[in-house]
Structure 1
Amino acid sequence: MRTILMAALAAGVSLAAPALAQQDASTAGDTKAKIDNLEKLQGFRPTGVAEPPMVPQTGRRADAVARTLQKIKLPDGFKIELYAVVPDARGLAVGPNAGVVFVGTRKSRVYTVTDRDKDRVADEVKVFAPGLDFKIPNGVCFSRDGVLTVVEQNRVLAFPAAEFFYEGPDVAAAVVVKQGELIPAAEESYNHTARMCRIGPDGKLYVSLGQPYNVPPKEKADLYARTGIGGIVRMDADGKNREVFATGIRNSVGMDFAPDRTLWFTDNQVDGMGDDQPPGELNQATKPGMNFGFPWYGGGAVRTVEYKDDKVPADAVPPKAELPPHAADLGMIVYKGKSFPAKYQGGVFTAEHGSWNRTTPVGARVMFVPIGKDGAAAKPEPFAEGWLTEGGEYLGRPVDLATLPDGSMLVSDDTAGAIYRISYEK
């Protein structure tokens, strides 16, 4: 108990138990019961919640995914295999201590994936903190000292020592941002609500906040600039000292820090402007306060119809690389592993979820963007493809990427409900 508390305090997370008396969950509604469960976990008290059964790792679904993976094309020396069957798998976070993988979803659950025998195939997949009522817990990220952050649609929770408490249904928990305070409650939407997070080299929490419109109305501009909607916000690990880090972003669902401490991120651009425009974006934030041009630009240098007569801010920053239009590049990593060939080290991988409103579908790939020593991005190139058939059927839709300690790369897929592992052998 003392070890957990000290770890939490070191991370700047408060675990103080609430002063209000709690109702018996057996007499309360399900929602109230799960609110009480969060309060119990904050005070290191058991919830009494039974642990759900593990997700089966064999059977028809696993066999179908394995057949699909036989169709995936990769550069010479690489191979792709099924790592885990995980329903609705999206955001990925690899624990820094034991290598347990935590998986966010756009639904109501977070999963844990454990490879106990280290054969690079998951042995166990189960629900994390089953007593909690998550709402779109897409964003998951770890601090270097092992605190897991889960960013929901409009709340942020932290779980100190998550890698060591996930075995049971009860885990140490803390509220970083209260429900309804990440964005104004009136701005909650079913659109662009999948948050992404990273812990920066400064120890702060960075969260992307997609805005709910295709192109926002002008009367929303001041509110969005002030709250960070359509941008990236950062704050201390305990939620204090929140500030808007970057603006001019439509909907980023992937970001990562490079070794030079700069933040790279993808941005999904405006729909309804035609099959071949505007391009998606790969951006680089080198300092706080940068403006990346949306909504004046719909993507790249393409002006939006709604803002075509408005003056573009003088400080608007163009993308480092233009990505295929409407391919929906979501998750990304700056590859810091050592097992891939030199060409890929320090480069950027992105996960293309695939188009939804294009007459001829594109995407459903993992792309690679080479980054030179001068920081310049070269032309994106396909790295892993084959989830989109010639007939336009999606066999899978990649969402996020992560690197295991051995340098291999994980790819989540929310359509197939799976995580793949891509490795390289000389």
Structure 2
Amino acid sequence: MHRITPSALRVLTLASIVSVLPVSLFAQSGKVITGQAAFTDYTQEHPGVIRKITLADLPEPKEGESVDNGPSVVPRPEGAWPIAPAGFKVEIYAQGFKEPRLMRTAPNGDIFLADSHGDKIIVLRGVGPDGKAQTISTFADGLNLPFGIAFYPSGPDPKWIYVGNTDSVVRFPYKSGDLVATGKPEKIVPELPGFAQLRGGGHWTRDIVFTPDAKMLVSVGSASNADDPDTHPNEFHRADVLEFNPEGKFLKVYASGLRNCVGEAINPTTGQLWCSTNERDRLGDNLVPDYITSVKEDGFYGWPWYYMGGHQDPRLMGTHPELKSKVITPDVILQPHFASLELAFYTGKQFPSSYDGDGFAAEHGSWNRAHRSGYEVIRVPMHDGHATGEYEDFLTGFVTSDGKVWGRPVGVTVAKDGSLFVTDDGSKTVWHVSYTGK
């Protein structure tokens, strides 16, 4: 827990101060907030608070309620700091990037970071006595909005690093410990549907994971909010997860109707693909919720004609009635407009055993909501590899009590020692979250 200094108290307002107090002051221990009470904003996000949203809680669409309330990121105020549950310590690990986004941990423990608008992949190694990275090295530059990073083949000795540019997939030869690429990028997938500039940043991110049977899954977000692909050919092979072999040969659309599966992860217990997904905007404050879900092969998740539970988008009323019964309801329904980004499963041993196998996801924060929500890292409780449907606030404090945003979580990865690293492209920081038990 970050210690509040006298100088910090001068800038921490009531909402900031109460967020470092025991969660029992806000909710009974272990209580799950459900129903309409689960639709909250940043002032009610505190480590340990648990929510569960179900289909029965979804309101009717209210297009007239839609607002443009995007944040203007401010410098981190004096004393402002990410707030974790009791027993956890949060430190600055590295700074000075242009746009730190997705991270992946190499088998040897190095942290590979996509500095996306810097067009670089950076390697972070070690933790010095001051808590900072001991080595920071540019592995590769001259890329095109890199985001996804994957090591192949799986195991302790990968031979390649795959990188998802916004319009292609490239790979670099790799041997454990490389701090700089030893060869030029090889374009494995020469063409993906490219940059789409939308409010909130655009669906330009391309994540990559490999399944246990060595299929390469690449996520591509939609080009629009809710354009009908029947009449908008620029949506071809978008809002999909695409399946390739490791040499880049296209095999099929693995799953469809996921408006923007930003963060992919393979569940270590089940071996199944999971996605952290941004849903559509402009249907009201509380529609449509973002979600985290297991992804069924050949599954359909609704976009753009329907959303979870077979609800038809009113802007496309009457289209494709044959698809209504095919819409898969996601495993974990989040706050609407959370902007859920990278997802990682906890495979470490440093945190208490109750965290084993749970998910962590970075919530970049809302723009299409009257009252801000997100701007946090959440925990997704799992039981034998399956979600309970709940989510828990884990790392908060990135918004001041008067609504000024200074931090926006994007990436999350589990370090070899079991600690957690989190990127924040608001303050351009990589944060280090470790468990001390104190």
TM-score class, shorter: 0.7 to 0.9
TM value normalised by structure 1: 0.76
Query: Which of the residues 373, 378, 391 maps onto 2:402?
Result: 391
Displacement of 1:121 in angstroms is 2.8
Cα 1:374/1:266, change in 2 over 3 Å? closer
Contact conserved, 1:90 with 1:106, CA < 8 A, in 2? yes
Question: Does 2:271 correspond to 1:261?
Answer: yes
3-state SS, counterpart of residue 90 of structure 1? strand
Question: Does 2:252 correspond to 1:239?
Answer: no
Within 5 Å, give how 1:85-164 maps onto structure 2: 85=95, 86-97=97-108, 99-116=109-126, 121-130=132-141, 133-143=142-152, 144=154, 145-146=157-158, 147-161=160-174, 164=177
Within 5 Å, give how 1:348-387 maps onto structure 2: 348-373=359-384, 375-387=386-398
Within 5 Å, give how 1:338-357 maps onto structure 2: 338-357=349-368
3-state SS, counterpart of residue 230 of structure 2? helix
**Structure 1 unaligned spans of 5+:** 1-63
In structure 1, the partner of 2:82 is: 72
Displacement of 1:306 in angstroms is 2.0
Q: 1:101, 1:72 → 2: CA distance?
A: 21
Displacement of 1:302 in angstroms is 4.6
In structure 1, the partner of 2:196 is: 189
The one-letter amino acid paired with 1:90 is: R
In structure 1, the partner of 2:336 is: 325
Contact conserved, 1:115 with 1:121, CA < 8 A, in 2? no
Cα 1:211/1:281, change in 2 over 3 Å? same
TM value normalised by structure 2: 0.74
Determine which structure has greater relative contact order: mean sequence separation of CA pairs < 8 Å that are 6+ residues apart, divided by chain length: 2
The one-letter amino acid paired with 1:113 is: V
Query: Which of the residues 265, 290, 300 maps onto 1:280?
Result: 290
Identity %: 29
Contact conserved, 1:208 with 1:233, CA < 8 A, in 2? yes
The one-letter amino acid paired with 2:400 is: T
Cα 1:118/1:135, change in 2 over 3 Å? same
Contact conserved, 1:250 with 1:268, CA < 8 A, in 2? yes
3-state SS, counterpart of residue 362 of structure 1? coil
3-state SS, counterpart of residue 216 of structure 1? coil
Deviations along 1:53-86, one digit per CA (max 9) or x if unpaired, are xxxxxxxxxxx76956x53221121111111113
Deviations along 1:290-348, one digit per CA (max 9) or x if unpaired, are 11122123456653122232313432210101101111111111212122112221111
Contact conserved, 1:209 with 1:231, CA < 8 A, in 2? yes
3-state SS, counterpart of residue 107 of structure 1? helix
Q: 1:304, 1:198 → 2: CA distance?
A: 30
Deviations along 1:22-41, one digit per CA (max 9) or x if unpaired, are xxxxxxxxxxxxxxxxxxxx
Q: 1:87, 1:188 → 2: CA distance?
A: 19
**Structure 2 unaligned spans of 5+:** 1-74
Deviations along 1:108-132, one digit per CA (max 9) or x if unpaired, are 42232333466663123243323xx
In structure 2, the partner of 1:50 is: none
Contact conserved, 1:280 with 1:299, CA < 8 A, in 2? no
In structure 2, the partner of 1:295 is: 304
Judge which range, 293-302 or 71-80, deviates more.
293-302
Contact conserved, 1:94 with 1:402, CA < 8 A, in 2? yes
The one-letter amino acid paired with 2:408 is: R
